[in-house]
Amino acid sequence: MFSRIARPAAHGLIRGLSTTAQANARVAVLGASGGIGQPLSLLLKNSPLISNLALYDIAHTPGVAADLSHIETRAKVTGYLGAEQLPESLKGADVVVIPAGVPRKPGMTRDDLFNTNASIVATLTEACAKHCPEAMICIIANPVNSTIPITSEVFKKHGVYNPNRIFGVTTLDIVRANTFVAELKGLDPARVNVPVIGGHAGKTIIPLISQSTPKVEFPQDQLAVLIGRIQEAGTEVVKAKAGAGSATLSMAYAGARFVFSLLDAMNGKEGVIECSFVRSEETESPYFSTPLLLGKNGIEKNLGLGKLTAYEEKLISEAMAELKGSIKKGEEFIKNRK
Protein backbone atom coordinates (compact mmCIF):
# COMPACT_ATOMS: atom_id res chain seq x y z
CA MET A 1 0.00 0.00 0.00
CA PHE A 2 1.04 3.56 -0.57
CA SER A 3 1.43 6.00 2.27
CA ARG A 4 -1.44 8.49 2.09
CA ILE A 5 0.81 11.44 1.49
CA ALA A 6 3.94 9.83 0.12
CA ARG A 7 6.32 12.48 -1.14
CA PRO A 8 6.64 12.20 -4.92
CA ALA A 9 10.11 11.72 -6.33
CA ALA A 10 11.05 14.94 -8.08
CA HIS A 11 11.95 13.09 -11.28
CA GLY A 12 13.71 15.25 -13.75
CA LEU A 13 14.62 17.94 -11.23
CA ILE A 14 17.97 16.17 -11.27
CA ARG A 15 19.09 14.95 -14.66
CA GLY A 16 18.87 11.26 -15.26
CA LEU A 17 17.04 10.35 -12.08
CA SER A 18 13.97 8.83 -13.69
CA THR A 19 13.47 5.12 -13.60
CA THR A 20 10.27 5.08 -15.62
CA ALA A 21 10.36 3.08 -18.81
CA GLN A 22 8.19 5.17 -21.10
CA ALA A 23 9.36 8.73 -21.45
CA ASN A 24 7.82 10.21 -24.55
CA ALA A 25 5.46 12.82 -23.26
CA ARG A 26 4.58 15.91 -25.23
CA VAL A 27 4.10 18.84 -22.86
CA ALA A 28 2.84 22.30 -23.86
CA VAL A 29 3.45 25.39 -21.71
CA LEU A 30 1.06 28.28 -22.43
CA GLY A 31 2.55 31.53 -21.13
CA ALA A 32 6.06 30.11 -21.54
CA SER A 33 7.88 33.46 -21.74
CA GLY A 34 6.73 34.73 -18.35
CA GLY A 35 8.27 34.86 -14.91
CA ILE A 36 6.99 31.35 -14.16
CA GLY A 37 6.90 30.08 -17.75
CA GLN A 38 10.65 30.40 -18.38
CA PRO A 39 12.07 28.62 -15.31
CA LEU A 40 9.25 26.06 -15.50
CA SER A 41 10.17 25.32 -19.13
CA LEU A 42 13.82 25.03 -18.08
CA LEU A 43 12.95 22.40 -15.45
CA LEU A 44 10.73 20.53 -17.93
CA LYS A 45 13.48 20.60 -20.57
CA ASN A 46 15.74 18.93 -18.01
CA SER A 47 13.38 15.98 -17.60
CA PRO A 48 13.98 12.62 -19.26
CA LEU A 49 10.20 12.03 -19.13
CA ILE A 50 9.55 14.59 -21.87
CA SER A 51 10.30 14.11 -25.57
CA ASN A 52 8.62 17.27 -26.91
CA LEU A 53 8.25 20.62 -25.22
CA ALA A 54 5.96 23.13 -26.97
CA LEU A 55 6.34 26.71 -25.75
CA TYR A 56 3.47 29.08 -26.51
CA ASP A 57 3.11 32.77 -25.59
CA ILE A 58 2.01 36.03 -27.19
CA ALA A 59 5.61 37.33 -26.84
CA HIS A 60 9.25 36.19 -26.91
CA THR A 61 8.79 32.44 -27.49
CA PRO A 62 11.20 32.23 -30.46
CA GLY A 63 13.99 33.47 -28.19
CA VAL A 64 13.06 31.34 -25.20
CA ALA A 65 12.76 28.24 -27.40
CA ALA A 66 16.07 28.88 -29.20
CA ASP A 67 17.81 29.35 -25.86
CA LEU A 68 16.38 26.20 -24.23
CA SER A 69 16.90 24.12 -27.38
CA HIS A 70 20.69 24.23 -26.86
CA ILE A 71 20.49 22.32 -23.59
CA GLU A 72 21.90 18.81 -23.93
CA THR A 73 18.75 16.87 -23.06
CA ARG A 74 16.55 15.01 -25.49
CA ALA A 75 13.29 17.00 -25.25
CA LYS A 76 12.76 18.75 -28.58
CA VAL A 77 11.80 22.36 -27.92
CA THR A 78 9.53 24.29 -30.30
CA GLY A 79 8.36 27.88 -29.90
CA TYR A 80 4.91 29.10 -30.97
CA LEU A 81 4.06 32.80 -31.09
CA GLY A 82 0.65 34.48 -31.23
CA ALA A 83 -2.93 33.26 -31.47
CA GLU A 84 -2.63 31.76 -34.96
CA GLN A 85 0.09 29.36 -33.76
CA LEU A 86 -1.82 28.27 -30.64
CA PRO A 87 -3.61 25.26 -32.28
CA GLU A 88 -0.31 23.88 -33.61
CA SER A 89 1.32 24.19 -30.17
CA LEU A 90 -1.36 21.93 -28.69
CA LYS A 91 -1.34 19.15 -31.30
CA GLY A 92 -0.68 15.79 -29.66
CA ALA A 93 -0.17 17.31 -26.20
CA ASP A 94 -0.33 14.82 -23.31
CA VAL A 95 -0.07 17.55 -20.70
CA VAL A 96 -0.78 21.29 -20.98
CA VAL A 97 0.47 23.65 -18.26
CA ILE A 98 -0.96 27.17 -18.16
CA PRO A 99 0.97 29.89 -16.29
CA ALA A 100 -0.28 32.63 -18.71
CA GLY A 101 -1.81 35.71 -17.13
CA VAL A 102 -0.95 38.73 -15.03
CA PRO A 103 0.54 38.30 -11.53
CA ARG A 104 -0.34 40.27 -8.37
CA LYS A 105 1.19 43.58 -7.33
CA PRO A 106 1.38 44.67 -3.66
CA GLY A 107 -2.08 45.26 -2.18
CA MET A 108 -3.85 43.00 -4.69
CA THR A 109 -5.74 39.79 -3.89
CA ARG A 110 -5.74 36.91 -6.35
CA ASP A 111 -9.35 37.73 -7.12
CA ASP A 112 -8.28 41.20 -8.33
CA LEU A 113 -6.69 39.35 -11.27
CA PHE A 114 -10.02 37.86 -12.32
CA ASN A 115 -10.96 40.39 -15.00
CA THR A 116 -7.74 39.93 -16.98
CA ASN A 117 -6.96 36.29 -16.32
CA ALA A 118 -10.47 34.85 -16.71
CA SER A 119 -10.55 35.67 -20.41
CA ILE A 120 -6.94 34.58 -20.97
CA VAL A 121 -7.67 31.18 -19.37
CA ALA A 122 -10.99 30.86 -21.20
CA THR A 123 -9.33 31.56 -24.58
CA LEU A 124 -6.47 29.14 -23.95
CA THR A 125 -8.65 26.32 -22.61
CA GLU A 126 -11.11 26.74 -25.50
CA ALA A 127 -8.15 25.96 -27.77
CA CYS A 128 -7.27 22.95 -25.56
CA ALA A 129 -10.86 21.66 -25.74
CA LYS A 130 -10.69 21.86 -29.55
CA HIS A 131 -7.15 20.69 -30.24
CA CYS A 132 -6.15 18.37 -27.36
CA PRO A 133 -9.36 17.44 -25.51
CA GLU A 134 -7.74 14.35 -23.95
CA ALA A 135 -4.73 16.16 -22.48
CA MET A 136 -4.19 16.69 -18.75
CA ILE A 137 -4.77 20.39 -18.12
CA CYS A 138 -2.78 21.98 -15.28
CA ILE A 139 -3.80 25.54 -14.46
CA ILE A 140 -1.36 27.79 -12.61
CA ALA A 141 -3.01 31.12 -13.60
CA ASN A 142 -4.80 32.83 -10.73
CA PRO A 143 -7.34 33.06 -9.24
CA VAL A 144 -7.14 29.23 -9.30
CA ASN A 145 -10.39 29.03 -7.27
CA SER A 146 -12.12 30.54 -10.35
CA THR A 147 -9.90 29.46 -13.26
CA ILE A 148 -10.61 25.75 -12.62
CA PRO A 149 -14.41 26.21 -12.78
CA ILE A 150 -13.80 28.32 -15.91
CA THR A 151 -11.78 25.52 -17.51
CA SER A 152 -14.41 22.92 -16.57
CA GLU A 153 -17.25 25.01 -18.03
CA VAL A 154 -15.28 25.54 -21.26
CA PHE A 155 -14.72 21.79 -21.62
CA LYS A 156 -18.41 21.13 -20.88
CA LYS A 157 -19.43 23.65 -23.55
CA HIS A 158 -17.33 21.72 -26.07
CA GLY A 159 -18.72 18.35 -24.92
CA VAL A 160 -15.29 17.02 -23.92
CA TYR A 161 -15.35 17.45 -20.13
CA ASN A 162 -13.44 14.92 -18.06
CA PRO A 163 -13.07 16.11 -14.44
CA ASN A 164 -10.26 13.61 -13.86
CA ARG A 165 -8.00 15.55 -16.22
CA ILE A 166 -8.38 19.14 -15.04
CA PHE A 167 -6.08 20.27 -12.20
CA GLY A 168 -5.61 23.51 -10.31
CA VAL A 169 -1.93 23.59 -9.38
CA THR A 170 -1.77 24.26 -5.63
CA THR A 171 1.56 22.44 -5.15
CA LEU A 172 3.32 25.63 -4.07
CA ASP A 173 1.18 25.69 -0.92
CA ILE A 174 2.39 22.19 -0.05
CA VAL A 175 6.00 23.10 -0.89
CA ARG A 176 5.78 26.14 1.40
CA ALA A 177 4.12 24.19 4.21
CA ASN A 178 6.84 21.52 4.05
CA THR A 179 9.56 24.17 4.15
CA PHE A 180 8.10 26.18 7.03
CA VAL A 181 7.37 23.11 9.18
CA ALA A 182 10.88 21.79 8.54
CA GLU A 183 12.39 25.17 9.54
CA LEU A 184 10.44 25.24 12.81
CA LYS A 185 11.23 21.65 13.75
CA GLY A 186 14.81 21.44 12.45
CA LEU A 187 13.87 18.73 9.93
CA ASP A 188 15.09 18.06 6.39
CA PRO A 189 12.38 19.75 4.23
CA ALA A 190 12.77 17.02 1.60
CA ARG A 191 11.41 14.53 4.16
CA VAL A 192 8.41 16.56 5.33
CA ASN A 193 4.92 16.12 3.87
CA VAL A 194 2.08 18.42 4.79
CA PRO A 195 -1.18 17.98 2.88
CA VAL A 196 -2.78 21.34 2.06
CA ILE A 197 -6.46 21.24 1.17
CA GLY A 198 -9.27 23.63 0.21
CA GLY A 199 -8.46 26.27 -2.39
CA HIS A 200 -5.61 28.54 -3.42
CA ALA A 201 -6.28 31.99 -1.93
CA GLY A 202 -5.88 33.36 1.61
CA LYS A 203 -7.99 31.53 4.16
CA THR A 204 -9.15 28.94 1.60
CA ILE A 205 -5.59 27.51 1.83
CA ILE A 206 -5.89 24.95 4.65
CA PRO A 207 -2.71 23.15 5.74
CA LEU A 208 -3.40 19.93 7.65
CA ILE A 209 -0.53 20.08 10.09
CA SER A 210 -2.12 17.24 12.10
CA GLN A 211 -1.59 14.93 9.09
CA SER A 212 2.02 15.96 8.53
CA THR A 213 4.62 13.23 8.15
CA PRO A 214 6.72 13.00 10.19
CA LYS A 215 4.16 13.81 12.87
CA VAL A 216 4.70 17.28 14.34
CA GLU A 217 2.93 19.18 17.08
CA PHE A 218 2.70 22.87 17.93
CA PRO A 219 1.02 24.79 20.74
CA GLN A 220 -2.22 26.41 19.44
CA ASP A 221 -0.80 29.96 19.25
CA GLN A 222 2.25 28.80 17.24
CA LEU A 223 0.02 26.65 15.04
CA ALA A 224 -2.18 29.64 14.19
CA VAL A 225 0.88 31.74 13.26
CA LEU A 226 2.28 28.91 11.11
CA ILE A 227 -1.02 28.39 9.26
CA GLY A 228 -1.34 32.15 8.75
CA ARG A 229 2.16 32.27 7.27
CA ILE A 230 1.40 29.43 4.84
CA GLN A 231 -1.85 31.15 3.79
CA GLU A 232 -0.09 34.48 3.24
CA ALA A 233 3.21 33.16 1.87
CA GLY A 234 2.34 34.32 -1.66
CA THR A 235 1.74 37.82 -0.32
CA GLU A 236 5.11 37.65 1.50
CA VAL A 237 6.77 37.22 -1.92
CA VAL A 238 4.57 39.85 -3.63
CA LYS A 239 5.59 42.39 -0.94
CA ALA A 240 9.29 41.48 -1.12
CA LYS A 241 9.25 41.82 -4.93
CA ALA A 242 7.72 45.28 -4.44
CA GLY A 243 5.81 45.55 -7.70
CA ALA A 244 7.93 43.17 -9.77
CA GLY A 245 5.35 40.34 -9.59
CA SER A 246 4.67 37.28 -7.45
CA ALA A 247 6.37 33.94 -6.83
CA THR A 248 8.00 32.68 -10.02
CA LEU A 249 10.99 30.48 -9.15
CA SER A 250 9.37 28.52 -6.31
CA MET A 251 6.23 28.28 -8.46
CA ALA A 252 8.25 26.92 -11.37
CA TYR A 253 9.68 24.27 -9.01
CA ALA A 254 6.20 23.43 -7.70
CA GLY A 255 4.70 23.31 -11.21
CA ALA A 256 7.47 21.01 -12.40
CA ARG A 257 6.99 18.76 -9.35
CA PHE A 258 3.29 18.45 -10.18
CA VAL A 259 3.90 17.73 -13.88
CA PHE A 260 6.54 15.09 -13.09
CA SER A 261 4.18 13.38 -10.64
CA LEU A 262 1.45 13.37 -13.27
CA LEU A 263 3.80 11.98 -15.94
CA ASP A 264 5.07 9.30 -13.56
CA ALA A 265 1.48 8.24 -12.84
CA MET A 266 0.57 8.33 -16.55
CA ASN A 267 3.57 6.08 -17.17
CA GLY A 268 2.16 3.51 -14.75
CA LYS A 269 4.02 4.32 -11.54
CA GLU A 270 1.87 3.35 -8.57
CA GLY A 271 1.18 5.28 -5.39
CA VAL A 272 1.72 8.77 -6.84
CA ILE A 273 -0.17 11.29 -4.70
CA GLU A 274 -0.49 15.05 -5.05
CA CYS A 275 -2.95 17.58 -3.69
CA SER A 276 -4.75 19.59 -6.38
CA PHE A 277 -7.83 21.81 -6.71
CA VAL A 278 -10.28 19.68 -8.70
CA ARG A 279 -13.96 18.83 -9.15
CA SER A 280 -14.86 17.18 -5.87
CA GLU A 281 -17.57 15.58 -3.83
CA GLU A 282 -15.63 15.58 -0.58
CA THR A 283 -17.30 18.72 0.85
CA GLU A 284 -20.23 20.98 0.01
CA SER A 285 -17.92 22.93 -2.33
CA PRO A 286 -18.10 21.60 -5.93
CA TYR A 287 -14.34 22.07 -6.31
CA PHE A 288 -11.89 21.35 -3.51
CA SER A 289 -8.28 20.36 -3.11
CA THR A 290 -7.44 17.11 -1.30
CA PRO A 291 -4.74 14.48 -1.75
CA LEU A 292 -5.38 12.58 -5.01
CA LEU A 293 -4.05 9.25 -6.13
CA LEU A 294 -2.93 9.84 -9.72
CA GLY A 295 -2.97 7.23 -12.46
CA LYS A 296 -2.83 6.68 -16.23
CA ASN A 297 -6.04 8.65 -16.74
CA GLY A 298 -5.49 11.46 -14.28
CA ILE A 299 -7.29 11.26 -10.95
CA GLU A 300 -7.60 7.61 -10.02
CA LYS A 301 -8.97 8.13 -6.54
CA ASN A 302 -9.77 11.10 -4.36
CA LEU A 303 -8.22 10.32 -0.97
CA GLY A 304 -10.45 12.82 0.80
CA LEU A 305 -9.97 14.90 3.90
CA GLY A 306 -8.62 12.26 6.28
CA LYS A 307 -9.01 12.66 10.03
CA LEU A 308 -9.33 16.33 10.93
CA THR A 309 -8.88 18.19 14.22
CA ALA A 310 -11.71 20.45 15.41
CA TYR A 311 -9.54 23.47 14.50
CA GLU A 312 -9.05 22.20 10.93
CA GLU A 313 -12.79 21.61 10.61
CA LYS A 314 -13.36 25.19 11.69
CA LEU A 315 -10.87 26.47 9.08
CA ILE A 316 -12.74 24.53 6.39
CA SER A 317 -16.14 25.87 7.37
CA GLU A 318 -14.74 29.44 7.48
CA ALA A 319 -13.37 29.03 3.94
CA MET A 320 -16.59 27.73 2.38
CA ALA A 321 -18.35 31.02 1.57
CA GLU A 322 -15.31 32.51 -0.19
CA LEU A 323 -14.58 29.28 -2.02
CA LYS A 324 -18.12 28.84 -3.30
CA GLY A 325 -18.28 32.53 -4.30
CA SER A 326 -15.09 32.29 -6.38
CA ILE A 327 -16.32 29.07 -8.04
CA LYS A 328 -19.67 30.64 -8.93
CA LYS A 329 -17.92 33.71 -10.32
CA GLY A 330 -15.90 31.51 -12.68
CA GLU A 331 -18.95 29.51 -13.78
CA GLU A 332 -21.00 32.68 -14.38
CA PHE A 333 -18.16 34.15 -16.42
CA ILE A 334 -18.38 31.33 -18.96
CA LYS A 335 -22.21 31.34 -18.97
CA ASN A 336 -22.14 35.04 -19.92
CA ARG A 337 -19.27 34.75 -22.39
CA LYS A 338 -20.22 35.10 -26.02
Binding-site residues sit at: 31-37, 57, 104, 110, 117, 140-142, 176, 251
> Pairing mode, if any, of strands 205-207 and 196-198?
antiparallel
Q: Which residue is nearest to ligand NAD (CB)?
A: 34
Which CB, 236 or 270, lies closer to ligand NAD?
236
* Cβ nearer to ligand NAD, comparing 28 with 181: 28
Residue 11 annotated as catalytic: no
| Residue 27 burial (C-beta neighbours within 10 Å; 0-12, 13-18, 19+) | buried
Nearer to ligand NAD, 173 or 210 (CB): 173
Size of the site for ligand NAD (CB under 6 A): 33
For the four alpha carbons of 232, 238, 240 and 242, in that order, the dihedral sign comes to negative
Among 65, 77, 136, 141, binds ligand NAD (CB under 6 A): 141
User: Which residue in 39, 79, 101, 149 binds ligand NAD (CB under 6 A)?
Assistant: 101
Binding-site residues for NAD(+) sit at 31-37, 57, 117, 140-142, 251
For the beta carbon of residue 52, count every other beta carbon within 10 angstroms: 18
Q: Is 142 in the site for ligand NAD (CB under 6 A)?
A: yes
Least CB distance to ligand NAD at residue 215 (A)? 26
**Per-residue contact string for residues 222-261; x = within reach of ligand NAD by CB under 6 A:** -----------------------xxxx--x----------
DSSP letters, 217-275, are ---HHHHHHHHHHHHTHHHHHHHHHTTS-S--HHHHHHHHHHHHHHHHHHTT-SS-EEE
Q: Which of 59, 66, 244, 321 binds ligand NAD (CB under 6 A)?
A: 59
For residue 23, how far is the Cα from the chain centroid? 21
Q: Where are the alpha helices (DSSP H) in the chain?
A: 37-45, 61-69, 86-90, 114-131, 144-157, 171-185, 220-231, 233-241, 249-266, 310-335
The answer to whether 35 contacts ligand NAD (rule: CB under 6 A) is yes
Buried b / exposed e along 132-146 (16+ C-beta atoms within 10 A): bbebbbbbbbbbbbb
- Of 119-138, binders to ligand NAD (CB under 6 A) are 120, 123-124
Shorter beta-carbon distance to ligand NAD: residue 212 or 289: 289
* Structure letter (DSSP) for residue 156: H
CB contact at 8 A, 55 and 64: yes
Binding site for ligand NAD (CB under 6 A): 30-31, 33-37, 57-59, 99-104, 113, 117, 120, 123-124, 140-142, 144, 169, 172, 200, 245-248, 251
